[in-house]
Amino acid sequence: METTSLWTSGRPDGHAPTGVMGDHTHHKGDWMFSYRYMYMRMDGMRDGNDDISASEIYPKGYMVSPVEMDMKMHMLGAMHAVSDKVTLMTMINYLENDMLLQAMNGNQFNTKSSGFGDLKVSAIYQLLNKDRQELHAIVGVSVPTGNIEEKDATPMSAPSEILLPYPMQLGSGTVDAILGLTYLGEADVFSWGNQVKADLRFGKNTNEYRYGNMYTLNNWFAVKTTPWLSFSARVEGKIVDDITGINPGLNPMMVTTADVNNSGGQFINGALGFNTYVPSGTFKDIRLGFEFSYPLYQHLEGVQLAHKESLTVGLQYAF
């Protein structure tokens, strides 16, 4: 029974929880367009594993402490299968960053940045599809289309604008490699997947630094409750290396985010979500996914804003 022994994407959990990228391939000639909206919140300062207050930041020699940060991402993606084995994928993000900061004298102010991020182009190569299991490799490149010269005015700089620190920039400024391996399995009611991925960066950007490599391990499990609905649980481990080099345009004593010693960390995030899928009719192959993620563990290098919840809503259409 060849057809039943293959892994299939034709079910709600045939795509991974919407926070996972590059989780599936398509059949030769198929296209898919997607829009994802992701909201991430960071709140309160943290030193390693411990929450600390802004008043503990200033004695470390910094003039300003972050208080809170909101990141909104609009992710536009396209996939096209050139063969049953090879699916090409491209993605561009539009980012909106908003950080609330507090100066030593207690005055609070916001800085903002927004615009397109880096362009990612990948090929997904299917290595195996049998016994309702699938394995594919991802090889991609991140093209530095995102601005790394974002500026805004602060009470200290007003009316002129100054260069914003590392976390407020929109791109990496370097050509980065993306490597990954995804394993998928399914049974009649359940499905599961694992994905290991590395974002590797080389050299330095035009501002004399590069962001750290990022390594992620995703593990998820889904229950198909009806032909159009599934629920998922996911655990993500993430290692973010620290920044190499120093942007000479930033004063590291001005604010903690301008100091490369406060970069990098290790995270374990837990996520719950659902996927819907239209199996037939006029709206066949439209998918809507939702996922809520929360850090279960976070160790931040130096002093950084603590990660809080993130929400992802994704809409996909294949034809």
Minimum distance from residue 25 beta carbon to Cu ion (Å): 8
Q: Tell me if 241 sits within 8 A of 235, measured CB to CB.
A: no
CB of 32 or CB of 99, closer to Cu ion: 32
CB of 79 or CB of 305, closer to Cu ion: 79
For 3, the enclosing helix (H) or strand (E) is helix 2-5
Nearest to 137 by CA among 98, 80, 85, 75: 85
Question: Interacting stretch for Cu ion, rule CB under 5 A, among 25-33, 64-72, 170-178, 205-213?
Answer: 25-33
CB of 33 or CB of 58, closer to Cu ion: 33
Angle at 15 between CA 14 and CA 16, to 5 degrees: 120
Minimum distance from residue 267 beta carbon to Cu ion (Å): 26
Minimum distance from residue 127 beta carbon to Cu ion (Å): 17
CB of 32 or CB of 38, closer to Cu ion: 32
Q: Tell me if 100 sits within 8 A of 111, measured CB to CB.
A: no
Whether a cis peptide bond, with omega within 30° of 0, leads into 159 is yes
Q: Tell me if 271 sits within 8 A of 233, measured CB to CB.
A: yes
CB of 32 or CB of 57, closer to Cu ion: 32
* DSSP secondary structure string for all residues of 249-268: TS-TTTBGGG-TTS--EEEE
CB of 32 or CB of 69, closer to Cu ion: 32
Minimum distance from residue 193 beta carbon to Cu ion (Å): 14
Q: What is the distance between the alpha carbons of residues 27 and 7, in angstroms, rounded to a whole number?
A: 12
Question: Interacting stretch for Cu ion, rule CB under 5 A, among 26-34, 53-61, 122-130, 296-304?
Answer: 26-34
For 2, the enclosing helix (H) or strand (E) is helix 2-5
Convert residues 47-86 into a mask of x (bound to Cu ion by CB under 5 A) and - (unbound): --------------------------------x-------
32 binding Cu ion? (CB under 5 A): yes
CB of 21 or CB of 101, closer to Cu ion: 21
How many residues bind Cu ion (CB under 5 A)? The answer is 2
Minimum distance from residue 24 beta carbon to Cu ion (Å): 6
Q: Tell me if 71 sits within 8 A of 95, measured CB to CB.
A: yes
Q: Restricting to residues 105-164, name those near Cu ion by CB under 5 A.
A: none
Q: What is the distance between the alpha carbons of residues 276 and 33, in angstroms, rounded to a whole number?
A: 16
What are the two backbone dihedrals, phi and then psi, of residue 5, each rounded to the nearest 5 degrees?
Answer: -85, -5
CB of 32 or CB of 168, closer to Cu ion: 32
Nearest to 120 by CA among 104, 103, 142, 93: 142
184 binding Cu ion? (CB under 5 A): no
Minimum distance from residue 79 beta carbon to Cu ion (Å): 4
168 binding Cu ion? (CB under 5 A): no
Q: What is the distance between the alpha carbons of residues 168 and 97, in angstroms, rounded to a whole number?
A: 6
Minimum distance from residue 119 beta carbon to Cu ion (Å): 18
Residue nearest to Cu ion (CB): 32
- The contact set with Cu ion (CB under 5 A) reads 32, 79
